[in-house]
Amino acid sequence: MNVSYLAHVSGKVQGVYFRASSQQVAIEHGLSGYARNLTDGGVEVLMCGELRNVEKMIKWLEIGSPDSEVEQVDAKQVPLQEHHFFAIS
C-alpha cells in the first residue's frame, strides 16, 4: 500500500549533509518526496511510497547522517501525494 508521511526532524540536522543523505536513503528504499531546511533549524521530509519502506526511512531519520545529532522526529501520515523523484531544497 502506498502512503505519504511528513516528518519534522529537529536537532543538529542542517549543515551536516542530512538532506543529501536522506535523499540517498530514500532512493535506496524506492521512495519519492523531498527534504528541505526549515527556518527553525529543523528539516522537513516528505516520504511517499510503500508503507514498509516509509517505516524504514522514518527509522533512519531517527539516527540521521553521520555528523547529525537528531533530537526528535515527528512523523504523521498525510494525504497521498504524487512525486516522481526525491528532491532536496
CATH number at residue 59: 3.30.70.100
To the query of whether residue 37 is one of the catalytic residues in this protein, the response is yes
Catalytic-labelled residue, pool 2, 19, 36, 53: 19
Q: Distance of CA 86 to CAs 9, 19, 21, Å?
A: 17, 10, 11
pLDDT at 15: 95
d(CA 29, CA 54): 8
pLDDT classification of 8: cutoffs 50, 70, 90:
very high
Give me the catalytic one of 2, 36, 37, 53: 37
Range of the domain at 57: 2-88
Q: Supply the pLDDT for residue 1.
A: 86
- Any idea what the Cα angle at residue 75 is, between residues 47 and 35, rounded to 5°? 40
Q: What is the mean pLDDT of the chain?
A: 96
Q: Reply yes or no on whether 52 is catalytic.
A: no
Secondary structure class of 82 (helix, strand, coil)? coil
Number of domains in the chain: 1
Q: Tens of pLDDT along 19-57?
A: 999 999 999 999 999 999 999 999 999 999 999 999 999
Helix, strand or coil for residue 19?
helix
- End-to-end Cα separation, the chain, in angstroms: 27
pLDDT at position 83 over 90? no
